[in-house]
Amino acid sequence: MLEWLDAAVNWVSLLWLFPVLFMFHDFEEILTVEKWAENNRDKVLAAMPPFARKALLPSLHCGTRQFAQDVLYVYSVIVASTLLAVLFSVYLPFLAALSLFFLHSFTHAFQALYLKRYTPGVWTAILIALPYSAYAFYRFLDGGAADWSDIGSSLIVLLVIGPPLLLLLLKGRQKATNHLEE
């Protein structure tokens, strides 16, 4: 099956599929997050330890517009990293974004299992994000465009830039929700 898929999806198409599939995943989140949070906020907060409650409270009050704005920022980074990969064969930013997409799929699955309910984005994480990112990693490795040290480097990039970006995201949501307190 992989031979057929490899022949059907050329390299450039594989790279450009990332922003497209990211948006399919995020459309599921954008379309469901506000109503889901309204209906599940109290249950989710009750299931979280106190430090997580405080950090997640603004996200559970995040409206569709704020969430879509956050998605736009991430999407812009994904498109920029895809352009670097397609036009200049600079793969580290793409691999870092792809690594985040891959790992993010597991957070959706674990959230749904932990909360024992549907969570926004879980279906497309399992059915689109996880298979695509696993296949993309396979193609990078099999085609020689990257090796395991490159993937390791992309994870280091995530470890360095991820926490400050997450803090900026949470701070922006806190500001947008007028500094909600539990």
- DSSP strands (E only) in 87-175: none
Q: What's the pLDDT at 111?
A: 92
| Type of residue at 174 | Q
Burial class (CB in 10 A: 0-12, 13-18, 19+), 166: exposed
Q: What's the pLDDT at 99?
A: 98
* Domain with 152 in it: 2-176
Residue 181, pLDDT > 70, answer no
> Rounded mean pLDDT of 19-43?
95
- pTM exceeding 0.85: yes
Average pLDDT along the chain: 92
Whether residue 71 contacts residue 170, with contact meaning beta carbons closer than 8 Å, is answered with no
Alpha carbon of residue 5 to chain centroid: 24
Q: Is residue 22 part of a domain?
A: yes
Instruction: Indicate the number of domains in the chain.
Output: 1
Confidence of residue 1 (pLDDT cuts 50, 70, 90): confident
pLDDT in tens, 86-131: 999 999 999 999 999 999 999 999 999 999 999 999 999 999 999 9
Q: Is residue 157 part of a domain?
A: yes
> Rounded mean pLDDT of 29-55?
90
Q: Is residue 182 part of a domain?
A: no
Q: Is residue 54 part of a domain?
A: yes
Q: Is residue 181 part of a domain?
A: no
